[in-house]
Structure 1
Amino acid sequence: MLDTLTHALRKSADRPAVLGTARNGSVRVKATCGELADLADRYAAALHARGVARGSTVGVAVRPGPRALAVMLAVHRLGARAAVLDPGAGPDVLRARLALARPDVVLADAAAQAVAGWARPLARRARLALPDLAALGPVATVGPRLPGCAQELETGVRSVVLPRPVDEDGDAVIVFTSGTTSRPRAVVHTRSSLAAGMATVTGLVRVEAERPVLGGTFFVLVPSLAHGAPVALPARSPRVLARQLRRLDPQATYLTPPQLRTLLAAGARFTGRVWTGSAPASADLLTRVKQAGAQEAWGVYALTELFPAAAVEQADKAAFTGGGDLVGAPLPGVAARTDAAGELLLSGPAARDRYLGEEPDPWVATGDRAHLAGGRIVLQGRLKDMVLRHAENIYPGLYEPALHVPGVELALLVGVPAGDGDERLVAVVQPGPGADRAALRAALTGPLERMGSARPDAVLLADIPLSGRSRKPDRAATARLAAARLAERDRG
């Protein structure tokens, strides 16, 4: 698919590729197909000049858009693999992930490096935090460089002769998921598994050439551009995004459930087919999207390990009367079964090859309890402790150790339902005997600030329920306790 995209970009150099939107909703071209192809070539030459080749690892901390896509195309051409880095995870987590991936070079835009000087307020607003540059190893800036950033990636070198594009399978991308700071975990996709996933997206969405698509993820950009459809990056403001929808009249729209809810609250109207995922999408939400003009409204069930796995349209979801959450039939090539504990296991060509540092395994353990009803997947809750907030997966085990400051006996991060599948993240901290609570809250300030986008919505000081013969902390009971305490606080 990436090779198909590269060919398509060169074939239609003047055609708009990536579209942006002004605050009044007017559409502008951020990059043409030719500009995107040229940028990918210059990045490939610059990386090749730095010694990046087949088997190398390139860390990528670049916001979605033309630069990020050009970086991925350059890395793909050289046969290297991209380690996707999330600066919002906090410096401690990110440092552990870098130690696992061991990139030969890190490419970062200015926002990801805004950690010092006058840019510090920008970093706080964007909830970004990187370790000191020296701790990252070789770093190069892509895009505009701000004071304090690393040197720019040198893209003006014309004397570099690029090798022939790599045309065989191998590692393509590393995406970090769960784990801890002492033992992070990362998903490794190969070139073939990425291609299979993007082919599945293409067959599911049925992109038409020339008509715009609205979305910002890699799995939206690549299939759409490869089939001749320009892609508009979603505006951050709900009001501007609503104007964007009205001006673009997109054939397909990809947004998360939180984005859809804010758009509906802003009175937005939809056209074409709307797709949503990354968080549970209720039948009610999909119904409201269709009532707001969408021809079809789809919920997509996907994992970092296998994208996409299943999909369901609003009409089928609304008609389902059984218990649990219907997420649809497995998509072509996806095999599904449950184990003795009821955990959903998935396999297929688009499944990840392995976790970094582990042996390959054809079956993906989803962490979801489920059953198969008439060949369709019905979820019955999560087995793992992940909390889902604003379409972001937050793994408590990454951050709980940092909450154990002096005076803390136990600390858990739990999710409390916030309506329509979303959750509030709550830190429940049990003070030790005789601990000064005011001093304890003060001591937690630093660790909480270092949690980046995983910072809790609330911190409660309370005794954590225990269960079982070993008297382990009971997460479910702690979540119920947190929900009750927050309800009392809201009423008060």
Structure 2
Amino acid sequence: MSEPTALAFEDRCLSLADIDALAAGMAVELQRRGVGAGSRVALMSSNRPEFVVALRAIWRLGAAAVLLSPAWKQTEVGHAVALTEATHAVGDHPVLADAMPMLSLDDEIAPRDPEAAPDPDAGADAVFVFSSGTTGMPKAVRHTHASLAVAIRHWRDALGLTAADRMQVMTPPSHILGLLNIIMALDTGAWIRLHRRFDIDAMLRHIESDRITIEMAVAPIALALSAHPRLEDHDLSSLRYIMWCATPVTQSVAEAVTARTGVTWVTAYGASELPVISCNDLQHARLDTVGRAVTGVGIRIVSLQTGEVLGAGEEGEIQVRSDSAMAGYLPDQWTAQAFSDGWYRTGDVGTLDGEGWLRITDRAKEMIKVRGFQVAPAEVEAVLHGHPAVEDCAVFGIPAADGEAIVAAVTLGHPVDTDELADLVADRLASYKRPSRVVVVDEIPRLPSGKVLRRVLRERAMGAGAKSGGF
């Protein structure tokens, strides 16, 4: 009797035994190249079975995976490799191959009989994922096998996932959401299909043909669903719900999809540093909130001025405590300020009512959320400052249909086409970090300390008087 399919990809179907045999074969090759316990291996891969194989091979050897976004350019990859001191690389992207010797995922790996591998040390590093901060290039978020296991358990419980469920993943595996979904599904015995990239028609077709039971949707996916002209032509009756992730819910979009399909939505809240924080009730979701704390996670609201713990309904910073919290950042200098007495400081502002419903009202941090990805203003500013025409600049986000749009305000020493400045960012950084608008201003408003008044710029950009060339 053949093993049941655990993972589908295009026309390939792999069982867990197939995956383990391929991982054992890749582990032999990685070991031959010098990978061992404690090694850090850069992994830059599109969404494909070989990503899963490589991750398991790395873990079989007691090494940690440094997960690089497949959208990154040379600057970002070089920074990440140097920051984590990765010594080896596996992937399918030429940008990584240019940075260091790389085992290609396109090379044929001979499967091997997977001898039992020792369980990894719970306290050892498992993965490094990346989270942008206001200080510039992305910080590495360090998760141990123990913290990752707790996060997976919390996500499974929040979703009510069982071995009978069927999922598909279109989000990048380097992102904490894609990573959790893949590991959790295989660990639970659920069926999963991977897709190289997001395609709305393929998504709808496979919900129908694969009888998908849980669908994940970041904002662009939700928008594509609501705008699809033939949405009603697809049989989506297998879906238990659609989970809205990574950005606050746009209720009008969610309600439009439900009205056309009958499928309801659930929303959850998490961060790379503490992946699963809260989730709505699966049967009676309230989309004006991000739900209640999942079992095993504590949430408190503290004053932005004094740090004092606040009461029900009072607005302040959302802080979270859980065994799923990261072990720390690289550079480590940022770790201490990310916590307060063991509570992770999310940087998000919100309220917690008397029944435990959490609402997010603002973000204390200045990251810009673009289609579910976090963009650090300072990272984009550093590129713009490199242009000889730019004397000063500030980057900020304004509301957009799929999250936020990046706007750059610049002061110039001599005239330059603003599209040239936006293209410079796209050339140096991932394409989603390209400003949607570059506006020329007389000066960048700052406090006496030098801190940019981004809120002032944001209000000007959103004001009725904003013009295409400036504001």
Normalising by structure 1, we get a TM-score of 0.80
- Name the CA distance, whole Å, in 2 between partners of 1:65 and 1:466: 46
1:161 Cα deviation after fit: 8.4
Match status 1:77 vs 2:65: no
Of 417, 420, 437, the residue aligned with 1:458 is 437
Deviation at 1:93, TM superposition (A): 2.5
- SS of 1:88's partner is coil
Gaps of 5+ in 2: 171-177, 305-315
Q: Is the 8 A contact 2:371 2:403 kept in 1?
A: yes
Q: Is 1:372 matched with 2:346?
A: no
1:363-403 Cα distance to aligned partner (Å, 9 max, x none): 22111111211222211101111111111111111121110
1:105 aligns with 2:105: no
Report if the CA contact (8 A) 1:389-1:424 is conserved. yes
Classify 1:108/1:327 alpha carbon distance in 2 versus 1 (closer, same or farther; 3 Å). Answer: same
Q: CA deviation digits over 1:175-223, x for unaligned, max 9?
A: 1112489765211001011000111111122233344222242211222
Q: Which runs of 5+ in 1 are unaligned?
A: 1-11, 22-27, 114-129, 144-151, 319-324
Deviations 1:49-85 (A, max 9, x none): 2221211101010112311111111122222111111
Match among 190, 202, 218 for residue 229 of structure 1? 190
Task: State the Cα deviation string for residues 125-180 of structure 1 (Å, max 9, x = none).
Answer: xxxxx3772xx23322112xxxxxxxx4x844979988644354311111111248
Deviation at 1:331, TM superposition (A): 0.6
Looking at structure 2, the residues matched to 258 and 81 of structure 1 have their Cα atoms a distance apart, in angstroms, of 31
Alignment of 1:146-295 (within 5 A): 152=107, 155-156=109-110, 164-179=118-133, 184-216=138-170, 217-234=178-195, 236-266=198-228, 267-268=230-231, 270=236, 271-293=239-261, 295=263
Q: Superposed, which structure 2 residues align to 1:58-69 within 5 Å?
A: 58-69=41-52
Contact between 2:214 and 2:243, CA under 8 Å: does it hold in 1? yes
Aligned residues: 434
Cα distance 1:466–1:200, how it changes in 2: closer, same or farther (>3 A)?
A: same
Aligned-pair identity in percent equals 24
Name the CA shift for 1:131/1:140 in 2 (closer, same or farther; >3 Å).
Answer: closer
2:279 paired residue among 311, 314, 330: 311
Residue 220 of structure 1 aligns to which amino acid in structure 2?
A: N
CA shift in 2, pair 1:307/1:442, >3 Å: closer
Deviations 1:243-294, CA, capped at 9 Å, x for gaps: 2222222111112121021022114353222112012223333333433445
1:416 and 1:312 map into 2 onto residues whose CA distance is 27
What is the alpha-carbon distance in structure 1 between the residues aligned to residue 358 and residue 6 of structure 2?
36
* 1:356 aligns to 2:330 (yes or no): yes
Q: Is the 8 A contact 2:6 2:186 kept in 1?
A: yes
Work out whether 1:409 is the aligned partner of 2:388: no
| Equivalent of 2:367 in 386, 390, 399 | 386
Aligned partner of 2:301 in structure 1 is: 338
**Cα distance change of structure 1 residues 469 and 446 upon mapping to structure 2, 3 Å threshold:** closer
Q: CA 1:165–1:46 in 2, change beyond 3 Å: closer, same or farther?
A: farther
For residues 152 and 199 of structure 2, the distance between their equivalents in structure 1, rounded to whole angstroms, comes to 28
Shift in alpha-carbon separation, 1:408–1:243, aligned structure 2, 3 A: same
Taking a change above 3 Å as real, the CA distance of residues 179 and 489 of structure 1, as seen in their structure-2 partners, is closer
Task: Provide TM-score, normalisation by structure 2.
Answer: 0.83
Between the aligned partners of 1:476 and 1:297, the Cα distance in structure 2 is: 32
